[in-house]
Amino acid sequence: MSTGIAYNPCKNCKEMDKCSICELTYYRKGQIKSSTADVVEIPEGGIGNLSDGYHTFNELYHHRAILFSVICNSMPDKAWKSKLHDTGDMYDGMFIVGIETPKGQATYHYDIEPYWDMFKVKELEKAPKWDGHTPQVAIERIEKLSADVVELRHGHWIEDNKRQKSYKFICSACGGVAYSPQPNTKNPHTKACAYKYCPHCGAIMDGERREE
């Protein structure tokens, strides 16, 4: 894999001149080189401060942790965290956190500090057995997670025109009431609710508007 991007050498092959997994040649003077890339100087503070011109590795790692914690915390019955793999080992100072999707598990590793307390999910003595998923498979499972577990509701607004100047609308999905005329209506006697979603149940109001 020759991406032209600088990476740290694998933890298990620091003594090797070339990693057999990532195919990167490691130079102990603070340089990393791939077979197709120019030598990249490691910035002061370490590889995490290396930037693509927009974000550093550390920033992207932090953003991923925040976003995944939001997903896990919104579905605590499906998520878990552990300081041990199913095999009883763990990387120094790290933990594993995962979420079960209809397609299988999706997991990431994070530093215990400051991320452990960020995940408000159940703690397991050991993580479930790894099912062999790759990073690409994990993100594909996460991408489909919301569509699999969230049932989208659809409805329409029912206009309550018992009073001539009423701007009262009733959600066909939940019966919730909204008061909102459509702005800039050409015909002042024609009213339509401005809300595209019901503020009570979240239903998508893409059905036909009806009058009572």
Q: DSSP per residue over the chain, as a string?
A: ---S---PPPGGGTTSSB-TTT--EEETTTEEE-SSS--EEPPTT-GGG-BSSS-BHHHHHHHHHHHHHHHHHH-TTTEEEESS-TTS---TTEEEEEEEETTEEEEEEEEHHHHGGG--SEEESSPPPP----HHHHHHHHHHHHHHH-PPPB--EEEE-SSTT--EEEETTT--EEE-BPTT-SSTT---B--SB-TTT--B--S--EE-
Note the pLDDT of residue 193: 73
Reported as a single tens digit per residue, the pLDDT across 151-186 is 667 888 888 765 555 578 888 888 888 877 654 455
Note the pLDDT of residue 28: 40
pTM recorded for the entire structure: 0.54
Note the pLDDT of residue 86: 95
Kindly give the parts of the chain with pLDDT less than 50: 1-12, 14-18, 20-36, 183-184, 187-190, 212
